[in-house]
Structures are given as C-alpha cells and as structure tokens.
Amino acid sequence: MDAGIAALLGAVVGGLLGAGGTLGAAALTARTQGQSQHAQWRREGRRNSYSAFIATVKAHQTAADDLMSLMDEVPLHQTRIAAALERVKSLLPAVSSAAPVIAVEGPADMGAIAEQIARHAENLTVCLELWMSEVPSGSGQPSTFANMAHGHIVDINRRLDNYTALARAALDATDRV
C-alpha cells in the first residue's frame, strides 16, 4: 500500500472515530442534563408541596389561636367569636387536601406525619366548635373542650416541627443526588 493512501485511510478512520467519540459524548451529556433537569423539576415540586402543607397548617393554627384569644376577652363578643370559628372551619379543607399530596410526593414517614397533623387539625376544629357551643354568652370559662383544643395545638406544633425537619432532610438528600 502506498504511503499516501495509508495516510489518507488513517485520517479517514481517525476522523470517523473522533466524530463517533464526539457524538457519544454529546449523547451522554444530553442524557445527564435531561436527568438533572428532571431531578430539579421533581425537587421543586416536592419543595412546593412541603411548603404549601406547612403554610396551610400554620394558617389554620393561627386562626385557632385567634379564636382561643377571643375566648379570654370579657365580655365575650359572640359575633367576632362566630366569625373566628368560621375562619378556622374554612381553612380546614386546605389542610385536609394538602396531606395526601405529601403522601405522594414525599417519603412515607412524611406522609404519615402529614396525615397525623391533618387529623389533629380536624379534631382541633371539632373541639373548638364544641367549646363555642357550650360557652354561655357571658362567660369564657375554660372547659374540657378548651383543654383538648390546647392539647391538639401542642401535638400539631410538635409534629409540624418533626415534619419540617424531615422535609429539609428530604430536600437536602435530593440536592446531593
């Protein structure tokens, strides 16, 4: 074989190998970038659902705290109390509907805690309703239902702290992937 033809053949083979390597690297880069973008999209979805759940629980709890504060006022303002109770009741569906999203988006332990928080929020709302129904218009004396409501608030706070720590850990773990 002539040296010129051998050089030409070597250049063609080298060029084909170089182009194949470049195409392979480009395909690998595209695949890695696609996986990275998908992981980022999933992480943002989780962060949004975790944050939305915390916000709905906090809003419900703030409304419950506001209602309980009204019960300390003398004389009682029945109209304000009724409006505050309606606010608590109106925020409960958001808590109840946000919890199942966590069961889908988050790890199982976060889903379980979200369901527990939602149950306590429901029980808190029922206790507040029962407390309001037993309070005569002139007295805001503490009752069994008031004590139960306070217990639910304490339980919600404890579980929400645990939930928040788990949410941070879950999001941090996806950052490392």
Banded model confidence at residue 177, pLDDT cuts 50, 70, 90: very low
> How many Cβ atoms sit within 10 Å of the Cβ of residue 70?
19
Task: Taking each helix axis as running N to C, give the angle between helix 3-70 and helix 108-134, from 0 to 180 degrees, rounded to the nearest 10.
Answer: 20
Instruction: List the chain domain ranges.
Output: 52-176
pTM of the full structure? 0.74
What pLDDT score does 85 carry? 94
Distance CA 29, CA 14 (A): 22
Closest CA to 56 of 84, 88, 81: 88
Place of tokens 């063609």: 12
Closest CA to 55 of 176, 175, 163: 163
pLDDT at 165 over 80: yes
Give the total residue count for the chain.
177
Q: Which uninterrupted H or E stretch holds 139? A: none
pLDDT at 123 over 60: yes
Banded model confidence at residue 138, pLDDT cuts 50, 70, 90: very low
Return all residues near 134 (Cβ < 8 A) that are at least 6 apart. 143, 145
Distance CA 58, CA 75 (A): 28
Distance CA 128, CA 63 (A): 11
Distance CA 115, CA 110 (A): 9
Q: Is the dihedral of CA 135, 141, 147, 150 positive or negative?
A: positive
- State both tokens at 26: 């480009």
3-class secondary-structure state, position 135: coil
| CATH architecture label of 52-176 | Up-down Bundle (1.20)
Q: Which of 73-82, 136-145, 149-158 has the highest mean predicted lDDT (pLDDT)?
A: 149-158
Closest CA to 152 of 119, 129, 130: 119
pLDDT at 82 over 80: yes
- State both tokens at 25: 């690297």
The pLDDT tens digits of the residues spanning 94-115 come to 999 999 999 888 888 999 999 9
Residue bearing the bigger pLDDT, 127 or 137: 127
The pLDDT tens digits of the residues spanning 26-69 come to 666 656 666 666 566 677 888 888 999 999 999 999 999 999 88
